[in-house]
Amino acid sequence: MDMKVAKKKLGLKEKYKLMTRDLGWDTTYQTKEDVFPYVGYEGIKIHDWEKWEDPFRLTMDAYWKYQAEKERKFYAIIDAHAQNNGHLNLTDARYLSALKIFLQAISPGEYAAHKGFARVGREFPGVGTQVACQMQAIDEIRHAQTQIHAMSNYNRYYNGFHAFADTRDRIWYTSVARSFFDDAMSAGPFEFMIAIGFSFEYVLTNLLFVPFMSGAAYNGDMATVTFGFSAQSDEARHMTLGLECIKFMLEQDPDNLPIVQNWIDKWFWRGFRVLGLVSTMMDYMLPKRVMSWREAWDIYGVENGGALFKDLARYGIKPPKGWDDAEKAIDHMSHQFMLGLYQWSFGTAFHSWIPSEDDMNWLSAKYPDTFDKYYRPRWKHIKKLADAGTPFKNYGLAKLCQCCQLPTVFTEPDDPTLTCHRESVYNGQKYHFCSDGCKNVFDNEPEKYVQAWLPMPQLFQEPINGDLGAWMEWVSLRDGKDNGDYAGSEDQQNFEAWRGLATTNQ
């Protein structure tokens, strides 16, 4: 920190205190309730905001200095990447499907987090908490922007990126991520912190950023590695904020424990479903793979998550309710997702494909108990259909889970041959779910989840009225270019032709 003090020698903590929480005061012309109207209704009791422990103690001057350095590095690399046709360094252009999903579903989430943290950065009555949240608010817009900027050059050469602002609000699979962030933002400030600050940032983002970005490095995508690791350096602060926040809530009042536990249960499961797609990115979409989803889960889920919940046990916190079901799903989910994506690939602004023999051998080595038994036969069947010129397409509509909004493609935790379906009835209406986890979330707050915008029924309403072509136009999906199998796609042809230009003298 750059704060230099002439007289009394102040330690980092004291200095930081003067630079942040000492700035605030108890208002007297307006009541606390009017100044902070949203902080009470969730039932969390805070007796002393002064007890808040600041996660990292960056004053604004240090923040500007260090962040500027990160920014300079980042833009130098993506400029060079664009100028030198860095996209031709990719191992293979099918890898870009992962980035297309990222831009359409995750980057808008960064923006939502930006807005959400600005809100809680104002709504929490403690200055220390507010400042930490505000810094996260400004970081999150950074992430949205660096991602868009990093992918902008890919958009100039490849399909599937061009309409991310439209697909974000309209296409079916982005609704998974959108409903997650909308759910967090429509909650109160404390629940928002547990949702994004704790469950998403602390428990789950390592899975998204660390192994996946290493994967990007393996596959020659320096633009993504750079935004990924650069963003993750902010996440280290965010994760620490999330952890401080949960400890603070638990230390302030024992009555907070059941509320917090309930949120942890809910948001672990919500996050697990959203980030589930990362399993497919890692296991299927990286041409050169760095580690399997299972291996990543063992490190970042089991080992780190385990350590975290062991640490929190002193407050009475138990591991999230869905933890065991999650563990049971790990060896199945990437395959189930990819099979789903392949059969509905007419409706995705990214490509999917049938894994090659090599890919399948890798998958069976990484998933010795599941792949050959349950998934290789299905891929083989699909391959046979494709070879016969009758590729497997499911033009039927997927049944979406009312909670996580994913198609109900998952199997029973204890029976991988049986698709999992759950139902609840609320106000005489029947609602469908993909799992016990999602049904529980709904049952705890049905009045919220009945509001969910479901993209499939939209197909039969104005302005689409069941017309697939009209739907594609509405979601800005260009049939035959953005969607379908990677094999034979424009992206594949272009990439190979351009690479040919680079490696031969033709």
Partner 1 sequence: MQIDLRTVAIQPQRQAFDHLVRRFGDKPASRYQEGSYDIQAAENLHYKPTWAPEKELYDASLTRIVMQDWYALKDPRQFYYSTYTLTRARQQETAEANFAFVESRGLADMLPDELRDVALKVLVPLRHAAWGANQHNTFICGYGYGTTFTQPCMYHAMDNLGIAQYLSRLGLLLGDTDALEAGKQAWLDDAAWQPLRRYVEDCLVLRDPFELFVAQNVALDGLLYPLVYERIVDEHLSVRGASAVAMLTQFMSDWFDETRKWVDAVLKVAAAESEHNRDVLQDWTRSWSARAASAMVPIVELALGAEADEAVGQQLAALTARIQKTGIPL
Partner 2 sequence: MSTVFIALQANEETRPIIEAIEIDNPQAVVNRQPAMVKIDAPGRLVIRKSTIEEQLGREFDLQELHINLISLTGNVVEDDETLTLSWNS
Residues 298 and 291: beta-carbon distance below 8 Å:
no
Out of 108, 126, 271, 347, the only residue in the binding site for partner 1 (CB under 8 A) is: 108
Give the range of 17-25, 300-308, 339-347, 498-506 binding partner 2 by CB under 8 A.
300-308
Report if residue 60 touches partner 1, rule: CB under 8 A.
Answer: yes
Residues in 447-486 that interact with partner 1 by CB under 8 A: 448-449, 451-453, 455, 458, 476
What secondary structure, in 3-state letters, does 465-490 show? CCCHHHHHHHCCCCCCCCCCECCCCH
Report if residue 35 touches partner 1, rule: CB under 8 A.
Answer: yes
Residues 250 and 315: beta-carbon distance below 8 Å:
yes
- Nearest partner of 416 among 372, 449, 458, 383, judged by Cα: 372
Do β-strands 429-433 and 415-419 pair in parallel, antiparallel, or remain unpaired? unpaired
| Residue that the structure tokens 């992430």 belong to | 143
C-alpha to C-alpha distance for 415 and 119, rounded to whole angstroms: 43
Out of 3, 80, 165, 307, the only residue in the binding site for partner 2 (CB under 8 A) is: 307
Report if residue 114 touches partner 1, rule: CB under 8 A.
Answer: yes
Q: What's the token pair of residue 278?
A: 């990362």
Q: What's the token pair of residue 8?
A: 């009394």
Report if residue 237 touches partner 2, rule: CB under 8 A.
Answer: yes
Out of 209, 212, 269, 486, the only residue in the binding site for partner 2 (CB under 8 A) is: 209
CA dihedral (353, 359, 363, 364) in degrees, to 10, reads 120
| 135 vs 213, beta carbon nearer partner 1 | 135
Report if residue 303 touches partner 2, rule: CB under 8 A.
Answer: yes
Residues in 306-345 that interact with partner 1 by CB under 8 A: none
How many other β-carbons are positioned within 10 Å of the β-carbon of residue 183? 22
Q: What's the token pair of residue 162?
A: 């061009």
Residues in 171-200 that interact with partner 1 by CB under 8 A: 175, 178-179, 182-183, 185-188
Q: Indicate the SS3 state at residue 423.
A: strand
What are the backbone dihedrals phi and psi of residue 454, each rounded to the nearest 5 degrees, phi first? -105, 120
Report if residue 218 touches partner 2, rule: CB under 8 A.
Answer: yes
- Nearest partner of 253 among 190, 318, 307, 323, judged by Cα: 190
C-alpha to C-alpha distance for 131 and 397, rounded to whole angstroms: 46
Report if residue 165 touches partner 2, rule: CB under 8 A.
Answer: no
| 64 vs 368, beta carbon nearer partner 1 | 64
Q: Indicate the SS3 state at residue 400.
A: strand
Binding partner selected for residue 218 from partner 2, partner 1, none, CB under the kind-specific 5 to 8 Å limit: partner 2
Give least dist CB 110 to partner 1, A.
Answer: 9
Report if residue 230 touches partner 1, rule: CB under 8 A.
Answer: no
Out of 70, 119, 122, 149, the only residue in the binding site for partner 2 (CB under 8 A) is: 70
Give the range of 5-13, 289-297, 347-355, 432-440 binding partner 1 by CB under 8 A.
5-13
Report if residue 21 touches partner 2, rule: CB under 8 A.
Answer: no
C-alpha to C-alpha distance for 376 and 355, rounded to whole angstroms: 10
Burial annotation 393-419 (CB, 10 A radius, 16+ → b, else e): eeeeebebbbbbbbbbbbbebeebeee
Binding partner selected for residue 487 from partner 1, partner 2, none, CB under the kind-specific 5 to 8 Å limit: none
Give least dist CB 119 to partner 1, A.
Answer: 4
Out of 103, 195, 285, 308, the only residue in the binding site for partner 2 (CB under 8 A) is: 308
Give least dist CB 114 to partner 2, A.
Answer: 19
Out of 53, 84, 310, 444, the only residue in the binding site for partner 1 (CB under 8 A) is: 84
Binding partner selected for residue 24 from partner 2, partner 1, none, CB under the kind-specific 5 to 8 Å limit: partner 1
C-alpha to C-alpha distance for 470 and 465, rounded to whole angstroms: 8
C-alpha to C-alpha distance for 321 and 231, rounded to whole angstroms: 30
**Would you tell me which residues interact with partner 2 (CB under 8 A)?**
1, 11-13, 55-58, 62, 66, 69-70, 206, 209-210, 213-214, 217-218, 225, 229, 232-233, 235-237, 239-240, 243, 290, 303-304, 306-308, 310-311, 313-314
